[in-house]
Amino acid sequence: MGYFSCNAESATAICDSYNWDRKRKSKTRRVKPDKPIEIREFLYDDLVAATNGFSTESFLGKGSHGSVYRAILDDGKLIAAVKRTKYPKQTTSLGIRNCTTCVAAENEIEILSRVRHPRLVNLIGFCPDSNDGKLIVVEYMPNGTLYDLLHLRSRPPGWTRRVRLSLHVAKAAQALHSSNPPVIHRDIKSSNILIDGDWNARLGDLGLALRGHVEDVRVRCTPPAGTLGYLDPGYLAPGDLSAKSDVFSFGILLLEIVSGRNAIDVNYSPPSVIDWALPIIKHGDYAGICDRRIGPPADPAVIRQLAVLAARCVRSTAEKRPSMAEVVECLTAVNKRVHAPPIWNSMRRRVKRVESKEAEHRPSFGSNDLEEIVRSTRGSRRKLTRKVSSVLGAEYESEDEAMIGERVLRSRSIGSVNEIKAGKGGVRKSAGVAVKVPSAMRLSKSRSVGVLGSPRLVRYNKRGFLLESVKLDMSKLVISVDGEKSDMKLLQKPLVSI
Ligand SMILES: Nc1ncnc2c1ncn2[C@@H]1O[C@H](COP(=O)(O)OP(=O)(O)OP(=O)(O)O)[C@@H](O)[C@H]1O
């Protein structure tokens, strides 16, 4: 027997339960009898005491259906969250059926009393005799919402955490979809994802959820609902609803997780994350949708798979979207990848670290027309050698070797410009740039350390610390070295005075 109404005195607190997992019912396995979900009934006064009279100190947040408070119960042994859904004043007992707030509260209790999962914000109990509204007691989530994590924290989460949280949400949605009868959440969004004490994501707020098969009268008669920005555009009438509407909302959430931008954000053009991200993904510029605060993940396959998955979830034809089970499978693979990156990723990360260190010191030259050349100041080669070797994790016997070492390694890691080999003088070409190279001087004279195989001009101070690093546009640049005693000059665009 399940829970039907909180108003009924006889409301049953023990309901049918662990039915989300189809595998549990597989014929090949011995099916254990389902453990009943225990739902507690709380006294109003106990909840008032547990929340210190619904005080501001206990206040956790406010949603469209009421406020949420932290409650200390069972002599401090249980910390829970109490959702206080206030009924509008004009609501009479007859009007409760038409009051969306009342329906949402009833609905949440009814569904959560039948479905339980480690990735959901599970129901602990309720208070049946509150006269001005409903009190729902759910598991307390001490680390806020995914929305806070993505948009309000000063330190944004990294890729490992983002992928892990996405997988948790997908698992929660899959659990709902695979329960019998299925549950469609209808309001998957970052503010409905709560973060528990172990930093796992939990899907909460089942106020709009629908339990039943799509052909059931109740499902067929419930008007569309959801949150703008996450709502499936194909869900215009009750009959359009399917689990794929949740998949759409999840796709938007995934784009939000990857990009760190809101589902609708007027600071972007276009404001809708889907209109903004899809053209970029279609061009194959997966890194272009990454949250700029953290940059793309070390392994490009991670962002590619996330972007492609999100794009599949938000397809306009619902049938073409993957099922939530498929989404879980895909994210499980991405999660493995992001946790155990290939060995070359560590190399890539080290090079990135070097680049970001350079960027910290980079002055703004007011021009983007710069590509890569490397140069050092006089008398600093020994220090430079040390710096380079420490960065690259290798020691070099001589300064010449160090320069060649830096040139080759940089060139490989960036992989964009041809190498210029040290040796006899003459004119060499690299990436379409003519470089006059005097013999011997490049590496043995202290002033100029030569041209490296990457389009960046770097200046060091006397102590060998990086002062500036400038990108150069190789197509507009000619570099010449005026004999053995002089430095390199930029002939066409003297943007940097050395
Ligand atoms: N179980 C919980 N544990 C801790 N804090 C919670 C919990 N549930 C909700 N909150 C906090 O209360 C706030 C309001 O939650 P609620 O679910 O009522 O609304 P919402 O999801 O933010 O908005 P809406 O009702 O419009 O969907 C949340 O943003 C969160 O900060």
332-353 in b/e form (b: 16+ CB < 10 A) is eebbebbeebeeebeebeebee
- Residue located via tokens 């005799």: 129
* CA-proximal residue: ligand 1, atom 31 (nearest): 61
Structure tokens at 117: 């999962």
The CA distance from 27 to 38, in Å, is 27
Least confident of 19-28, 31-40, 144-153: 19-28
Residue 359 has pLDDT above 80, yes or no: no
- Give me the pLDDT at residue 262, please: 96
Mutate to test the pocket of ligand 1, among 139, 153, 194 (most ligand atoms within 8 A of CB): 194
Q: For ligand 1, atom 12, name the residue with the nearest CA.
A: 61
The predicted pLDDT at position 35 comes to 67
**What's the CA gap between 22 and 28, in Å, rounded?**
12
Average pLDDT, rounded, for the chain? 71
- Decide if pLDDT at 136 tops 50: yes
Q: Which atom of ligand 1 is nearest to the CA of 63?
A: 19
- Is the per-residue pLDDT at 445 higher than 80? no
DSSP, residue by residue, 345-411? HHHHHHHHHHHHHHHHHPPP-S---B-------TT-HHHHHHHHHHHHT---SSHHHHHHHHHHHHH
Ligand 1 centroid from CA 325, angstroms: 26
Report whether pLDDT(391) > 70. Answer: no
Alpha helices in 262-320 (DSSP H): 273-282, 300-313
Judged against a pLDDT cut of 70, whether residue 296 lies above it is answered with yes
Q: Strand, helix or coil at 138?
A: strand
Coil, helix or strand at residue 476: helix
Pocket residue to mutate for ligand 1, from 56, 60, 86, 192, most atoms within 8 A of Cβ: 60
Query: Does residue 492 carry a pLDDT above 70?
Result: no
Between 19 and 31, the more confident residue is 31
Among this protein's residues, is 75 annotated catalytic? no
pLDDT at residue 313 in the model: 98
Q: Ligand 1 mean position to 108 CA, how many Å? A: 13
Q: Summarize the confidence of residues 158-167 as an average pLDDT.
A: 97
Q: Which of 187, 205, 232, 291 is catalytic?
A: 187
Length of the chain counted residue by residue: 498
Q: 210-246 pLDDT, tens per residue?
A: 999 878 888 888 999 999 999 999 999 998 999 999 9
Pairwise pLDDT comparison (346 vs 245), residue with the higher score: 245
Q: What is the mean pLDDT of residues 397-410?
A: 27
Residue 347 has what pLDDT? 65
- DSSP label of 161: H
Residue 99 — very low, low, confident or very high, per pLDDT cuts 50/70/90? low
Q: What H or E segment, with its residue span, contains residue 68?
A: strand 66-73
Ligand 1 nearest-atom number relative to CA 205: 17
pLDDT at 304 over 60: yes
pTM for the full model? 0.66
- Rounded distance between C-alpha atoms, residue 9 and residue 38, angstroms: 17
Banded pLDDT at 337 (limits 50, 70, 90)? very high
The pLDDT value recorded for residue 468 is 57
Model pLDDT, residue 67: 92
Across the range 372-384, mean pLDDT stands at 28
Output the residue whose Cα is nearest ligand 1's atom 17. 205
Ligand 1 mean position to 205 CA, how many Å?
A: 7
Inter-CA distances, 327 with 90, 310, 389, Å: 44, 9, 44
Using CB distances shorter than 6 Å, the residues near ligand 1 are 60-65, 68, 81, 83, 121, 138-141, 144-145, 191-192, 194, 204-205
pLDDT of 343 reads 62
83 is in an annotated binding site: yes
pLDDT for res 461: 56
Protein residue with least CA distance to atom 24, ligand 1: 63
Q: If you measure from the C-alpha of residue 191 to the centroid of ligand 1, how many angstroms do you get, rounded to a whole number? A: 7
CA atoms within 13 A on the CB side of 58: 23
